[in-house]
Structure 1
Amino acid sequence: MKVFLQGVLGYGVGSIFILMILFSAILASLLRFTTMDTDTLNQISLIAGLTILAFGGLLAAYKGQKKGWLTGLLTGLVFIVIIMLFQIIFENRLVSVAQLSYFGGLLLAASLGGMIGVNMPNRSTQ
């Protein structure tokens, strides 16, 4: 149980937040220093969000080593709940239907990443 929670909270959610912060800085720089329009950046951020959550689910399941779909799903769920709480507290706004569909896609991506991560071969040092 300890390894499972460490995989979800430590490796999965931690890596998602670090990658999201880094990618947000890259997108902000692109928006500031290029002539790229916001529609293109929205599409890039959608693809990046799905990829980052899939990677977070993959890493959490790889470290947790069991129940990959559940590990990925919990990783995505913890991330989404934190994002929803930030939105409710700081923006004083509830979640919209469009956001719920986006969150559903993020959950699916994290769950699929978990399925892949649990089946990755472990390196053993002998």
Structure 2
Amino acid sequence: MKKMMQGVLAYGVGFIFLAMLFFSGVLALLLRFTAMEYQTLNQIALIAGITILAAGGLLSAYKTEQKGWLSGGLTGFIFVAMMVLFQVIFENTWISLPQLSYFGGLLIAAWLGGMIGVNLPRSSQKR
């Protein structure tokens, strides 16, 4: 259980936060220095979010080497729960129905990424 939580928190959620931070900076630069419309950037952000959550679930399951559905699901759940918590605390609003479907898509992406990640081949290190 310790290995799973380490994989989920350190590798999965940590990767997601770093990747989201980096990608939000890239989107801010695109919004500032290009003539791209907000709607286009919104669609890019949606695709990037789903991809990043799937990669985070994949990484956490790859590192835990067991129960990919659980480690990917936990990774997605922890990230989504933190997003909801931040919104409730800092914006003082509850989640809307479109946000609920977006968060559900993020959970499914992390869950599927975990199922893929646990089945990736391992590098064999024979000495």
Give the TM-score category using the shorter length. over 0.9
- State the Cα RMSD in Å: 0.6
The total of aligned residue pairs comes to 126
- Identity percentage of aligned residues: 64
Give ranges in structure 1 of 5+ residues lacking alignment: none
- CA distance in structure 1 between the aligned counterparts of 2:8 and 2:75, rounded to whole angstroms: 5
Which digits, 9 at most, give the CA deviation of each residue in 1:28-55, with x for residues without a partner?
A: 0000000000000000000000000000
Which digits, 9 at most, give the CA deviation of each residue in 1:101-123, with x for residues without a partner?
A: 00000000001100110000111
Deviation >4 Å, runs of 4+:
none
1:18 paired residue number: 18
* Partner-residue secondary structure (3-state), 1:36: coil
Q: CA deviation at 1:124?
A: 2.6
Q: CA deviation at 1:58?
A: 0.1
- CA distance in structure 2 between the aligned counterparts of 1:84 and 1:51, rounded to whole angstroms: 19
1:63 paired residue number: 63
Q: Provide TM-score, normalisation by structure 2.
A: 0.97
Q: Provide TM-score, normalisation by structure 1.
A: 0.98
Give ranges in structure 2 of 5+ residues lacking alignment: none
